[in-house]
């Protein structure tokens, strides 16, 4: 039987507010335990939550960016359950009336473009962390993360393969960073993902029983966890078994998913509207302001790069993968004032390769956009050949100075003067009478021998185009 995979994703994006969503305490990551938590985060008796308006602004920005309805009225609800790192015994979230509903995100995979529906996005607070290491057998509680604002983004079950899930996740990841609402750091847990996975016979319209996969906090793990889970479910169903609705944990060390709790064991969260927080009301003026201050989105930027710089869709896609990379490119184009495609080649070529090799992001590039522009300009005006320019780039990366300084100090300036090149070519021809005879006898492949000799004699500095042209003229019988 042929099977179809159905995937929906729930992403928790930590919002980049300076302070927490309900307490005013700072949100700094990596501080000593419990130094970023105040009496509200610790849920002392008598304390009350007050909404941080920045969190609502960021949620609204996201909603507008995915073409969703941003509700003018939304309601905070309490999700009740006991856990040591949940200080109030409930999490403040949004339930029946979320701030954002019905959006869409366009993704591109090897098999083309596809639109993934976004069911909803709602605001909620993060929990603290339980610490088990170095606690002498006790469990420690660190409330630094408690109350950090989260935007939970729930997709429709629109994805049909692990590859589509990853593409959606990457597109979303790019988007939240473009919007400057989430730093996207998956290692620190700023961008987390749960996947609802089910399979069904191809052609079936009803959904199969799903498993919810947790702990899949890298793009690679998302792909592997889903692939494992799909294999597991298909094997189960093919052998006459049934999939249980349950939560499963992905174990990356063993590359498998394991049952965490079944539906029957799930909590009854007893959601109800939080009486401490009035209905969140967004005014028209507020929404208009959010709209006005919306940054250019990845899609629009990609289309503009194609139109404005004459780039291929592929190059434009690579260059707009992050706002920082796109900004780097545009700065370099402006500074270089040459054919933008040439700049694109250098950014997606040498620069990208170097960053990749050293595991750096664009912000830590050792060659600035202005410096790179200086080099590309010298390629464009023929001062150095493309090949020589690569050596210059390496020297720039190593911190030896600007392109012009390196070209000058190493004497790399290309020889384009016709008479100088002619002089070298004559010497080469005179020194190789045998090859000259072969060439004139019709052995055209000997031509490349002369090119090589000429370049060698000029120590690589002769303009290759001119060398070709002059050789052809002088070798002719």
Which residues lie near another protein (CB under 8 A)?
39, 42-51, 78, 80, 82, 84, 87-90, 141, 268, 270-272, 275-278
Q: Which distant-in-sequence residues (6+ apart) come within 8 Å of 420 by Cβ? A: none
- Closer Cβ to another protein, 22 or 168, answer by number: 22
- Closer Cβ to another protein, 44 or 353, answer by number: 44
Q: Which distant-in-sequence residues (6+ apart) come within 8 Å of 456 by Cβ? A: none
- Closer Cβ to another protein, 4 or 54, answer by number: 54
Distance CA 406, CA 392 (A): 7
- Closer Cβ to another protein, 139 or 308, answer by number: 139
Minimum Å gap between C-beta 100 and another protein is 21
Distance CA 298, CA 281 (A): 29
CB 116 within 8 A of CB 156: yes
Minimum Å gap between C-beta 53 and another protein is 11
Minimum Å gap between C-beta 72 and another protein is 18
Tokens coding 98: 């979320």
Distance CA 436, CA 451 (A): 12
Q: What are phi and psi of 376, to 5 degrees?
A: -60, -35
Distance CA 359, CA 367 (A): 15
- Closer Cβ to another protein, 146 or 216, answer by number: 146
- The sheet with strand 112-125 has its strands ordered as 69-70, 100-109, 112-125, 149-155, 3-14, 191-201, 211-214, 246-251, 256-262
Half-sphere exposure of 354 toward its Cβ, with a 13 Å CA cutoff? 18
- Closer Cβ to another protein, 9 or 40, answer by number: 40
Minimum Å gap between C-beta 268 and another protein is 5
Distance CA 325, CA 348 (A): 10
- Closer Cβ to another protein, 282 or 407, answer by number: 282
- Closer Cβ to another protein, 141 or 362, answer by number: 141
Minimum Å gap between C-beta 47 and another protein is 7
- Closer Cβ to another protein, 109 or 245, answer by number: 245
Minimum Å gap between C-beta 280 and another protein is 10
- Closer Cβ to another protein, 270 or 459, answer by number: 270
CB 8 within 8 A of CB 155: yes
**Which residue has tokens 């090589």?**
452
Distance CA 396, CA 373 (A): 12
Q: Which of 109, 114, 115, 110 is nearest to 66 (CA)?
A: 115
Q: Which distant-in-sequence residues (6+ apart) come within 8 Å of 44 by Cβ? A: none
Minimum Å gap between C-beta 126 and another protein is 17
CB 305 within 8 A of CB 343: no
Q: Is residue 111 packed enough to be buried (19+ CB in 10 Å), middle (13-18) or exposed (0-12)? A: exposed
Minimum Å gap between C-beta 146 and another protein is 11
- Closer Cβ to another protein, 272 or 314, answer by number: 272
Minimum Å gap between C-beta 45 and another protein is 4
Minimum Å gap between C-beta 251 and another protein is 23
Dump the DSSP string for 394-456: HHHHTT---HHHHHHHTT-PPB--HHHHHHHHHHHHHH-HHHHHHHHTT-TTHHHHHHHHHHH
Minimum Å gap between C-beta 29 and another protein is 22
């Amino acid at each position: 039987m042929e099977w179809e995979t159905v995937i929906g994703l729930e992403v928790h994006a930590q919002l980049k507010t300076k302070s927490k969503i309900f307490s005013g305490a700072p949100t700094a990551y990596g501080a000593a335990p419990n130094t970023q938590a105040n009496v509200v985060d610790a849920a002392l008796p008598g304390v009350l939550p007050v909404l941080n308006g920045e969190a609502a602004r960021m949620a609204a920005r996201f909603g507008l960016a995915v073409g969703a309805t941003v509700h003018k009225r939304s309601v905070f609800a309490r999700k009740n359950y006991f856990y040591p790192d949940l200080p109030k015994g409930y999490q403040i979230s949004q339930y029946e009336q979320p701030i954002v509903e019905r959006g869409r995100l366009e993704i591109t995979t090897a098999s083309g473009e596809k639109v993934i529906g976004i069911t909803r996005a709602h605001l909620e607070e993060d929990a603290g962390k339980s610490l088990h290491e170095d606690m002498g057998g006790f469990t420690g509680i660190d409330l630094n993360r408690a109350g950090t604002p989260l935007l939970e983004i729930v997709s429709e079950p629109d994805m049909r393969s692990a590859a589509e899930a990853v593409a959606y996740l990457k597109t979303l990841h790019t988007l939240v960073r473009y919007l400057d609402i989430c730093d996207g750091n998956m290692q620190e847990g700023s961008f987390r993902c749960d996947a609802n996975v089910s399979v069904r016979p191809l052609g079936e319209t009803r959904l199969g029983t799903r498993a919810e996969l947790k702990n899949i906090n890298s793009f690679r793990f998302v792909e592997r966890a889903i692939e494992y889970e799909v294999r597991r479910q298909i094997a189960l169903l093919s052998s006459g078994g049934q999939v249980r609705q349950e939560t499963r944990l992905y174990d990356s060390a063993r590359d498998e998913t394991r049952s965490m709790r079944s539906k029957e064991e799930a909590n009854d969260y007893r959601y109800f509207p939080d009486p401490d927080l009035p209905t969140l009301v967004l005014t028209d003026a507020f929404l208009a302001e959010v709209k006005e201050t919306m940054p250019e989105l990845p899609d629009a930027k990609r289309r503009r790069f194609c139109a404005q710089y004459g780039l291929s869709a592929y190059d434009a896609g690579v260059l707009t993968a992050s706002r920082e990379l796109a900004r780097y490119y545009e700065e370099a184009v402006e500074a270089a004032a040459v054919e933008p495609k040439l700049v694109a080649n250098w950014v997606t070529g040498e620069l990208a390769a170097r960053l990749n090799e050293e595991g750096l992001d664009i912000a830590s590039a050792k060659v600035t956009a202005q410096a790179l522009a200086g080099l590309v300009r010298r390629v464009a005006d023929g001062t150095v050949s493309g090949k020589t320019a690569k050596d210059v780039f390496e020297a720039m990366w190593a911190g030896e100075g600007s392109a012009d300084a390196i070209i000058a100090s190493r004497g790399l300036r290309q020889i384009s003067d016709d008479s100088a090149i002619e002089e070298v070519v004559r010497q080469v021809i005179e020194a190789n009478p045998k090859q000259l005879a072969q060439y004139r006898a019709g052995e055209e492949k000997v031509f490349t021998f002369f090119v090589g000799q000429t370049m060698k004699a000029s120590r690589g500095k002769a303009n290759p185009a001119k060398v070709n042209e002059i050789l052809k003229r002088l070798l002719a019988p």
